[in-house]
Amino acid sequence: MISKTLTTKTNFDFLLGEVLLIDKEIGKTSFNVVHNLRKITGVKKIGHAGTLDPAATGLLIVCTGKKTKEIRIYQDQTKTYSGIITLGIKTPSMDSETEAIEICDASQITPEEMEETRKKFVGEIEQIPPMYSALKFKGQALYKYARKGIDVKREPRKVNILSFEITKTDLPDIHFSIECSKGTYIRVIADDFGSALGCGAYLKSLRRIKIGEYAVDNAFTLKELEDYLKSSNSTGGESIEKN
C-alpha cells in the first residue's frame, strides 16, 4: 500500500502491482487521476475502486498491474464522506454543476425538523440514481441524455446508510458526515433531504474521507506522489506509507 505513512522502503513494482491512496483534487475526474498515474508510473494497467465526481475531493484507491484484480475488495467497502448541503436551492444535477431551478426560503427550518428528517435517512433506504451520472442506458451515460433534456426512467436501488450526522448548522448550509454502502449517491441524499424538509436542497461540497479503514489523511496528491517517486527512484517491488 503506497500511502502517506512513509517507511524506509523505496522500491516499487507498478507492473507487478501496487495499491495507491490518492487525494483527488477538485475539478479532476477519476479518469483524469488514472490517466495521470499512467504517465507517472509508466504502467497502462491501472484502475480505481470507486468514482468521485469532478466537484468532489478526497480518497481514491487506485490499483496498478496485477493488483487491479483486487479492486473489487476496495469497491465493496463502506465509504465515509463529509460535506455541505445547502437548503432552499434545487438543481437538476443535485450539486453545484448546474444552475438553480427552484429557490425557496429555508430560514424557518428548525433544528428539530432537520434532526427528525435526518433520522429518516439512516439504515436501508431506496435511491433513484440521478440523471447526471455515469450510469449507462443503451450504451450511453445518463448525463449525456440529461444534457439533451431527455429523462430516462431509473429504477430505485437499495443502499445502506450506516450513519448520517449533522456536524454544524449555518443556514442555509448544513455540514454533515455520512458513512454508507457502495453505490450510494450523496447528491441524491442532499436532494431527497431537501424535499423531505419541503424547501429543496443541493450538495454544495463533498469530500470522501475514508474507504473502509483507509483514510484520506494518509493519501498522496498526484503531485506529492510524483515528487516522492522521483526522489526515491523506485524500481523494485516494496511498499511505502507516509505519516
Encode pLDDT of 36-45 as tens digits.
Answer: 999 999 999 9
Q: How far is CA 196 from the centre of its chain?
A: 23
In the chain, what are the domain boundaries?
A: 19-76+212-232, 79-209
Confidence bin at 233 (pLDDT 50/70/90): low
pLDDT at 236: 40
Query: Residue 131: is its pLDDT beyond 80?
Result: yes
End-to-end CA distance of the chain: give it in Å, rounded: 13
pLDDT at site 2: 81
Q: Which of 25, 37, 26, 39 is nearest to 67 (CA)?
A: 37
Strands 79-87 and 201-211: antiparallel
53 is catalytic: yes
Please give the C-alpha separations between residue 227 and each of 23, 40, 89, in angstroms, as whole numbers. Answer: 15, 10, 41
d(CA 54, CA 35): 14
In the block, which residue shows the cell 438543481?
A: 91
Annotated catalytic residue, options 23, 53, 191, 192? 53
Contact between 96 and 155 (Cβ < 8 Å): no
- In this prediction, residue 70 carries a pLDDT of 94
**Which fold is adopted by the domain 79-209?**
Pseudouridine synthase (3.30.2350)
Lowest mean pLDDT among 140-149, 173-182, 211-220: 140-149
CA–CA gap between residue 5 and residue 229 (Å, rounded)? 14
* CATH pick for 19-76+212-232 out of 3.40.50.720, 3.40.1110.10, 3.40.50.10090, 3.30.2350.10: 3.30.2350.10
What is the pLDDT, as a whole number, of residue 10?
A: 62
Nearest to 33 by CA among 15, 12, 45, 47: 47
Please state the rounded mean pLDDT for residues 2-26. 82
Q: Do domains 19-76+212-232 and 79-209 have the same CATH topology?
A: yes
Angle between helices 186-197 and 111-119 (to 10 degrees): 130
Other CB atoms within 10 Å distance of the CB of residue 76: 13
Q: Which of 193, 161, 168, 145 is nearest to 83 (CA)?
A: 168
User: What are all long-range contacts of 64-68, with beta carbons under 8 Å and residues at least 24 apart?
Assistant: 64/14, 64/15, 64/17, 64/18, 64/19, 64/20, 64/37, 65/13, 65/14, 65/15, 65/16, 65/17, 65/18, 66/15, 66/16, 66/17, 67/17, 67/18, 67/19, 68/17
Place of cell 506529492: 224
